[in-house]
Amino acid sequence: MTVVHNNDSKQTSSYEELFLQFSSLVERWLIRIILGLLTLLLIFQLLLQYPSIRYFLVRVEQLEGVSFIRSE
């Protein structure tokens, strides 16, 4: 038989409330970060559609068409 003291249940309840508040706050920040990153991904993908902008964003674009010089 388990005896539960009133003090223990108050501490547990308080801890649970604090945990729920903290996890709710963290959850909101994670959602904001994910939405921000998805927005940035969409913006950069749209920018990569324009060759003049892609030239500055992608190093391979700058090297495109440059001949390879062999050292003999």
Residue 68 belongs to some domain of the structure: no
Count the domains in the chain: 1
Q: Which pTM was predicted? A: 0.62
The predicted structure's pLDDT at residue 2: 56
How many angstroms separate the CA atoms of 33 and 40, rounded?
11
42 lies in which domain range?
A: 6-63
How confident is the model over 11-59, as pLDDT tens digits? 778 999 999 999 999 999 999 999 999 999 999 999 999 988 998 888 8
The predicted structure's pLDDT at residue 72: 63
Residue 41 belongs to some domain of the structure: yes
Angle (CA) 50 55 56, round 5°? 110
Residue 56 belongs to some domain of the structure: yes
The predicted structure's pLDDT at residue 32: 99
